[in-house]
Amino acid sequence: MSIQQTLAALQVGQSARVSQVEAGPAMRRRLFDLGLIPGTQVTCTARSPAGDPAAYLIRGAVVALRGRDAGEIRVSLLPEPGGTA
Amino acid sequence: MGLTHTSTGAGAAEGALVLRRSGPDQRVVALAGNPNVGKSTIFNYLTGLRQHTGNWPGKTVANAQGRCTHRGRGYVLVDLPGTYSLMAHSAEEEAARDFLCFGGAEEGGGRRRADAAVVVCDAACLERSLNLVLQTLELMPRTVVCVNLMDEAAARGLSVDLEGLSRLLGVPVVGTSAGRGEGLEALMDAVEGVIQGPAPVPCAVTYPPPVEAAAAQLAPILADRLGDRIPARWAALRLLDEDPSLLAALTAASDWNPRTDGVVQETLLRIRMDLERAGVDRLALRDAVAARLVGEAEEIAGAVLARRNPDSGGRDRRLDRILTSRATGIPVMLLLLAGVLWLTIAGANVPSDLLASGLFWVQDRLTGLFTYLNAPDWLHGALVLGVYRVLAWVVSVMLPPMAIFFPLFTLLEDFGYLPRVAFVLDHAFQKARACGKQALTMCMGFGCNAAGVVGCRIIDSPRERMIAILTNNFVPCNGRFPTLIAIITMFFVGTAGGPGRSLLSALLLTGVIVLGVVLTFWISRLLSATALKGTPSAFTLELPPYRRPRVGQVVVRSVLDRTLFVLGRAAAVAAPAGLVIWIFANVQVGGLSLLDHCTGFLDPFARLLGLDGVILMAFLLGFPANEIVFPIIIMAYLSTGTLTEFSSLEDLHRLLAGHGWTWLTAVCTMLFSLLHWPCSTTCLTVGRETGSFKWTLAAFALPTAVGMAACLLVATLARLAGLA
């Protein structure tokens, strides 16, 4: 059973699969253009000095999102490669 | 920091592009693509023009055109702003979509659509590029897909099956490495091929059945009305999506308004009801279309990409950890800034002195020539002591720092560091309720505030864009650096050279810039709470892969394009200003020169601010270009003093001290240089970008008020404390 959470809670190095995008229409469109649709695998690659925004690897490109925006994307955590999670 | 005639000149804000073809048989080719895939590099290579390039998304903010000749045939290339999609939700996307849909107006009337489109893709990020390719193919069958950055992809262990991709897409595909000029001949061959040959039949994305059924019902009706202008299926899908900007553009570009067309509206209403019954509301329809495009792109990319190296981004992630992490992000940023400034100051010292001695040697020869020719005194005074001397000052003070700063900054830009600055600073902008991309516009402001203001187009939210425009001037542009550097060196570090001293200068200058940045945050926050009330809007910021800067090219281009461009602009202003100041200093009215009258009038007020009348007048006369402020101050003092022979900062320091400069004057002049009205070019640009006199006035008044308040405060406190 995978753990449900939002993208904002992803730690650096963790990967997750998008289950639902709850953002408003404009942001939703922007995210879809970037290829962030339900089913997409996302990896958190970096956090800025203040912890927010964070950078995510989406379909080969790294995109930064603010916490409030990433908080509107529901994901299920994927086990870390080689880890036990 | 794109400093070209198109970014800061008269053409900067012209919304509509007017196509300039030299003959009726010239082809029009549109260059589309995601941001930062090398469109402008391709454009520059083919046209010989110099659109700004650099490793961050959003450099090209307006359509640009250029001509090229290939195998004896002429083409007009149109470089569209980078877009992820044609379902417009930003100004750039609208500009790109409208050009593909309706073409551009032509000189001499009429409109012309592109004969063909080239969609530029990033080979290392093919999947996302293909999303835009698929959308473009729905609109423009005569399209060539250009898979660029093949060299970078290869370095990452990725290879693209170009033939397979061409088979799947149904249009020609050409692989290029534009940075090295590879594949561009083949690209133009393919472009000519799709224009001359029969229109290709590209692959069509199949949407879920209810969407397809709806489009099939609407398309024939639209086909009657649109003729061959726009593919009916594409228009049908967009009408179902109710894209308001497209409806407006459609009405503007043709004599047909779908909103007042009874049959179309009736059909749309019926289709909507059918769709709702099938459980597909407008939002679901939009999602379904977008998701299908992403899915199709994923399938195609999966089929043609080979050897996906799982750790291809490892080096970038490690660099990101150093450049953006909690522990090192901000210190590294400050170190880089101070380092660039240190190299600028340390490197500029000697050439500045050499240039000054050389140019003033020439002045003496000119004086000799005038004497030999028995030229009247006033002519020698106006031309040599006025025009030439100010020019000499501007060149010797400006050129060396610029010629060092611009290439260094461009190297960082090419490397891909600027988006990381935006990433690191975003939290502060978030607190100020502004957009993180404002950091990118500030970086552009370092080069030229006018370019920074134009760059604010990358911010989608109108409120946040206005904040960025109004505060751009708080970042000192290159024209203000030399003033700041000279004052720091003379008054706070000492004029004897040495690495330690130039390091101290660099640190002090870094402090001045940090003050400007902090003020940007405060003023942005203030604006967000008052005139531009609102909450931050959602935005995404792409962090592109790091690229090895093309050092040779960067140095040559930044010196030739940016440095000489800015210097030329300053010189054009400096020459007449030199004449004016000489006339002011030499025309006597009532026993006093005009200059004395003016400075005397300004003096009491200026003293309150810790300045003097000459300094304030220099800032006023420097309105056309900040570069000439300091030379004017020197000129004005020289015209009233006896000291005429000097070539070093030491002499200059004596001159200023002789006119009553103290450390307080120096601090207040630096503060006022950082915080005063934008130059005339920037004001004009703000006027064009905002289309509002009121906001232009605000952009003028805001930094001025802050600067006056800061100077008044510092001067008063220092005097009360008995420090000066």
Q: pLDDT digit string (tens) for B677-687?
A: 999 989 999 99
For chain B, the helix, strand and coil percentages under 3-state DSSP, each to the nearest 5? 65, 10, 25
Q: Give which of B540, B541, B542, B546 to mutate to test A binding, by max A Cβ within 10 Å.
A: B540
Residue window 40-79, chain B: list those with CB within 8 Å of chain A. Answer: none
Q: Which CATH number is A59's domain given?
A: 2.30.30.90
Q: Which residues of A touch B297 (CB under 8 A)?
A: 35
Q: Which residues of A touch B126 (CB under 8 A)?
A: 60
User: Scanning every residue of chain A, which has its alpha carbon at the shortest distance from the alpha carbon of B297?
Assistant: A35
- Rounded Cα–Cα distance for residues B266 and B261 (Å): 9
A1 touches chain B (CB under 8 A): no
Q: Which residues of B touch A55 (CB under 8 A)?
A: 320, 324, 423, 543
Asked whether B681 and B573 are in contact (CB, 8 A), the reply is no
Among B131, B330, B541, whose Cβ lies nearest the Cβ of A35?
B131
Q: Which of B351-360, B558-567, B576-585, B664-673 has the highest mean pLDDT?
A: B664-673
Q: Give which of B324, B424, B461, B535 to mutate to test A binding, by max A Cβ within 10 Å.
A: B324
Among B124, B326, B539, whose Cβ lies nearest the Cβ of A60?
B124
Half-sphere exposure of B424 (CA within 13 A, CB side): 20
- Which residue is associated with the tokens 């692989």? B175
Q: What mean pLDDT do residues B434-450 have?
A: 91
Which is more confidently placed, B404 or B249?
B404
User: Scanning every residue of chain B, which has its alpha carbon at the shortest distance from the alpha carbon of A63?
Assistant: B542
Q: Which residues of B touch A32 (CB under 8 A)?
A: 287, 290-291, 294
User: Quick one: pLDDT band at residue B643, thresholds 50, 70, 90?
Assistant: very low
Residue window 95-154, chain B: list those with CB within 8 Å of chain A. Answer: 124-128, 131
- Rounded Cα–Cα distance for residues B91 and B89 (Å): 7
- Residue B64: in which H helix or E strand, if any? strand B64-70
Size of chain B in residues: 724
User: Quick one: pLDDT band at residue B470, thresholds 50, 70, 90?
Assistant: very high
Among B125, B330, B543, whose Cβ lies nearest the Cβ of A60?
B125
Are the Cβ atoms of A63 and B85 closer than 8 angstroms?
Answer: no
Q: Which residues does B270 contact at the CB level (< 8 Å), separation at least 6?
A: B217
Are the Cβ atoms of B423 and A35 closer than 8 angstroms?
Answer: no
Q: Which residues of B touch A42 (CB under 8 A)?
A: none
pLDDT (0 to 100) of residue B684: 92
Q: Which residues of A touch B326 (CB under 8 A)?
A: 47, 49-51
Nearest-10 Cα torsion for B337, B338, B340, B345: 140
Are the Cβ atoms of B536 and A53 closer than 8 angstroms?
Answer: no
Tell me the two tokens of residue B507.
């640190």
Q: What mean pLDDT do residues B499-510 have?
A: 86
Q: What mean pLDDT do residues B509-526 have?
A: 95
Q: Which residues of A touch B313 (CB under 8 A)?
A: 45, 57, 62
Kindly list the distances between the CA atom of residue B449 and the CA atoms of B7, B66, B452, in Å, as whole numbers in the listed order. Answer: 11, 26, 5
Least Cα distance to B578 among B524, B522, B632, B515 occurs for B632
pLDDT (0 to 100) of residue B180: 87
Q: What mean pLDDT do residues B662-676 have?
A: 95
- Rounded Cα–Cα distance for residues B429 and B535 (Å): 12
Residue A21 identity (one-letter amino acid)? V
Which is more confidently placed, B68 or B538?
B68
Q: Which residues of A touch B544 (CB under 8 A)?
A: 61-62
- Rounded Cα–Cα distance for residues B7 and B350 (Å): 32
Task: Look up the CATH number of domain B5-196.
Answer: 3.40.50.300
Least Cα distance to B344 among B441, B484, B443, B550 occurs for B484
**B299-337 pLDDT tens trace:** 999 999 987 665 567 788 889 988 998 889 999 999 999
Residues of chain A with pLDDT under 70: 1-2, 81-85
Q: Of the given ranges (B241-250, B336-345, B441-450, B517-526), which has the lowest mean pLDDT? A: B241-250
pLDDT (0 to 100) of residue B13: 37
Domain region containing A42: 4-78
- Domain extent listing, chain B: 5-196, 209-279, 329-536+550-720
pLDDT (0 to 100) of residue B93: 80
Residue window 636-675, chain B: list those with CB within 8 Å of chain A. Answer: none
Asked whether B126 and B40 are in contact (CB, 8 A), the reply is no
Other beta carbons within 10 angstroms of residue B496's beta carbon come to 9
User: Scanning every residue of chain B, which has its alpha carbon at the shortest distance from the alpha carbon of A37?
Assistant: B291
- Which residue is associated with the tokens 């030299």? B22
B284 touches chain A (CB under 8 A): no
Other beta carbons within 10 angstroms of residue A51's beta carbon come to 10
User: Quick one: pLDDT band at residue B624, thresholds 50, 70, 90?
Assistant: confident
**Is A85 part of a structural domain of the chain?**
no
Burial letters B42-78, b for 16+ CB under 10 A, else e? bbbbbbebbbbbbbbbbbbbbbbbbbbebeeeebbbb
A82 touches chain B (CB under 8 A): no
Among B294, B330, B542, whose Cβ lies nearest the Cβ of A61?
B542
**B451-465 pLDDT tens trace:** 899 889 888 889 999
Residue window 431-490, chain B: list those with CB within 8 Å of chain A. Answer: 436
Nearest-10 Cα torsion for A4, A6, A7, A12: -70
The secondary structure of residue B37, as a DSSP letter, is S
**B142-160 pLDDT tens trace:** 999 999 999 988 888 889 9
Q: Which residues of B touch A53 (CB under 8 A)?
A: 423, 426-427, 430, 436, 541
B559 touches chain A (CB under 8 A): no
Asked whether B47 and B77 are in contact (CB, 8 A), the reply is yes
Kindly list the distances between the CA atom of residue A18 and the CA atoms of A34, A41, B294, B424, B503, in Å, as whole numbers in the listed order. Answer: 13, 6, 14, 25, 49
**B191-210 pLDDT tens trace:** 999 999 998 999 989 999 98
User: Quick one: pLDDT band at residue B281, thresholds 50, 70, 90?
Assistant: confident
Among A26, A34, A64, whose Cβ lies nearest the Cβ of B543?
A64
- Residue B589: in which H helix or E strand, if any? strand B588-589
pLDDT (0 to 100) of residue B256: 80
Percent of chain B with pLDDT over 70: 94
Tell me the two tokens of residue A55.
């950078």
pLDDT (0 to 100) of residue B282: 83
Size of chain A in residues: 85
A50 touches chain B (CB under 8 A): yes
- Rounded Cα–Cα distance for residues B401 and B399 (Å): 6
- Rounded Cα–Cα distance for residues B472 and B465 (Å): 10
Q: Of the given ranges (B29-33, B322-326, B603-607), which has the lowest mean pLDDT? A: B322-326
Residue B66 to chain A, least CA–CA distance (Å): 29
φ, ψ of residue B407 in degrees (nearest 5): -60, -40
**Is A83 part of a structural domain of the chain?**
no
Q: Of the given ranges (B63-72, B255-264, B673-682, B707-716), which has the lowest mean pLDDT? A: B255-264
Specify the number of domains making up chain A: 1
- The chain-wide mean pLDDT, for chain B, equals 87
- Rounded Cα–Cα distance for residues B83 and B443 (Å): 22
The secondary structure of residue B665, as a DSSP letter, is H
**B100-136 pLDDT tens trace:** 888 887 777 777 889 999 999 999 889 999 999 999 9
Residue B647 identity (one-letter amino acid)? S
Nearest-10 Cα torsion for B505, B515, B711, B704: 120
pLDDT (0 to 100) of residue B497: 58
Q: How many CB pairs under 8 A join A and B?
A: 135
Kindly list the distances between the CA atom of residue B121 and the CA atoms of A62, B133, B170, B243, in Å, as whole numbers in the listed order. Answer: 16, 8, 16, 26
Are the Cβ atoms of A66 and B329 closer than 8 angstroms?
Answer: no
Residue A29 identity (one-letter amino acid)? R
Q: What mean pLDDT do residues B522-544 have?
A: 89
Residue B539 identity (one-letter amino acid)? F
- Rounded Cα–Cα distance for residues B135 and A53 (Å): 30
- Rounded Cα–Cα distance for residues B603 and B615 (Å): 9
Q: Which residues does B311 contact at the CB level (< 8 Å), separation at least 6?
A: none
Answer yes or no: pTM beyond 0.90: no
Among B128, B325, B538, whose Cβ lies nearest the Cβ of A27?
B538
Which is more confidently placed, B118 or B588?
B118
**Is A20 part of a structural domain of the chain?**
yes
Q: Which residues of A touch B419 (CB under 8 A)?
A: 64
Asked whether B96 and B456 are in contact (CB, 8 A), the reply is no
Q: What mean pLDDT do residues B358-387 have?
A: 89
User: Quick one: pLDDT band at residue B395, thresholds 50, 70, 90?
Assistant: confident
A15 touches chain B (CB under 8 A): no
B291 touches chain A (CB under 8 A): yes
Are the Cβ atoms of B542 and A53 closer than 8 angstroms?
Answer: no
3-state SS, one letter per residue, for B331-384: HHHHHHHHHHHHHHHHHHHHHHHHHHHHHHHHHHHHHHHHHHCCCCHHHHHHHH
B367 touches chain A (CB under 8 A): no
Among B127, B298, B320, whose Cβ lies nearest the Cβ of A55?
B320
A53 touches chain B (CB under 8 A): yes
Percent of chain B with pLDDT over 90: 43
Are the Cβ atoms of A53 and B87 closer than 8 angstroms?
Answer: no
Q: Give which of A66, A72, A80 to mutate to test B binding, by max B Cβ within 10 Å.
A: A66
Q: Which residues of A touch B286 (CB under 8 A)?
A: 25, 29
Other beta carbons within 10 angstroms of residue B558's beta carbon come to 25
- pLDDT at residue B551 greater than cutoff 80: yes
Are the Cβ atoms of B326 and A52 closer than 8 angstroms?
Answer: no
